[in-house]
Amino acid sequence: MRILVTGGAGMLGRKLAERLARDGELGGERISRLVLADLATPGAPEGAGPEVAAVACDLAAPGVAEKLLADRPEVVFHLAAVVSGEAETDFEKGYRVNLDGTRLLLDAIRADPGYRPRLVFASSIAVFGAPFPDVIGDDFHTAPLTSYGTQKAIGELLVSDYSRRGFLDGVAIRLPTICVRPGGPNRAASGFFSSIIREPLSGQVALLPVADDVRHTHASPRAAVGFFLRAATVEEGALRERRCLTMPGVSATVGEQLEALRRVAGDGAVSLVRREPDELVARIVAGWPQRVDAGRARELGFRAETSFEEIVRVHVEDELGGRIP
């Protein structure tokens, strides 16, 4: 089995690639070749199994997708995207990468008759926009309040239509905020949800730009990788005509996040969180979903953590070698 991961240098792309290289198989099939593509050359993960190729390329440039697909990978993970904060500040770049890049990828698949890969599209719960019901059901409309959410919602529509027309076999997964993100901050408006846990766990100060009662839905990077693997292997028949799935997650307020941090790492860690309100971030986050039902995804076997404390402990295990410094 050949696999292509776009956005392979991003945090999730890297973790997905590491997992695929380590497992050496997907859905019981041996992985022979793993291609990682991104603007910057992705790092090649270690693993005895698959041949790994890392490609630096711009998916939004004509002809690039055709080259990446030349060996007809059976599974395409499409993660490449401009993140929410940047798509909001750079309108044209967001549309170019998130809409045009996605469409070029889908059209390159369509242009190859007889080739019909499973395509897993990384969507986001940013496709939803306020006002919200108490819990967002699987049939709630996509009325995004950011350009990023708009671009993801359009990507979902394209994946569904191209699948229905038989050009590919798509699954779009709406990721909740991924938390705790390792490494440095990125330009996602949701970055602080991670930094208020990650930095204190390393003895660093973290800034909190929103109020303690802000509620949001989270899943760990480990859970997200699990979503991608499940999306790659879920039976097409089980999806019926509805290929866009809201992923499960843990709904927690910022206050509840900090309480979980306190339980795992003590008062000292929590005292490192400094409140510094940021209106732009607060406004963007206020338009984001607080709770999702995700009943369909759960039925189809997608699993997330069950408490925010579990999310903190997953971070300690996966990123800090199991111990708090």
Task: Tell me which of 6, 84, 124, 142 binds a second copy, using CB under 8 A.
Answer: 142
Stretch that binds a second copy, among 62-70, 144-152, 188-196, 288-296 (CB under 8 A): 144-152
Interaction between residue 205 and a second copy (CB under 8 A):
no
- Report whether 247 contacts 302 (CB < 8 A): yes
Task: Tell me which of 30, 164, 274, 275 binds a second copy, using CB under 8 A.
Answer: 164
- Site residues for a second copy, 165-194, by CB under 8 A, read 165
Place of tokens 């993100």: 181
Distance separating alpha carbons of residues 189 and 296, to the nearest angstrom = 27
Task: Tell me which of 153, 168, 250, 304 binds a second copy, using CB under 8 A.
Answer: 153
Stretch that binds a second copy, among 129-137, 178-186, 200-208, 311-319 (CB under 8 A): 129-137
The contacts of residue 247 (CB under 8 Å, 6+ apart) are: 125, 173, 174, 175, 176, 219, 224, 227, 292, 294, 297, 302, 304
Place of tokens 């979902």: 156
Interaction between residue 134 and a second copy (CB under 8 A):
no
Of 291 and 313, nearer to a second copy (C-beta) is 291
Q: Is 148 in the active site? A: yes
Task: Tell me which of 22, 25, 91, 205 binds a second copy, using CB under 8 A.
Answer: 91
DSSP secondary structure letters along 197-224 = HHHHHTT--EEE-S-TT-EEEEE-HHHH
Distance separating alpha carbons of residues 118 and 29, to the nearest angstrom = 14
Question: What φ, ψ does residue 44 adopt, rounded to 5°?
Answer: -85, 125
Shortest reach from residue 153's CB to a second copy, in Å:
5
Query: Can you give the binding site for a second copy, defined by CB under 8 A?
Result: 91, 129-130, 133, 139-145, 147, 150, 153-154, 157-158, 160-161, 164-165, 241-242, 244
Catalytically annotated residues: 148
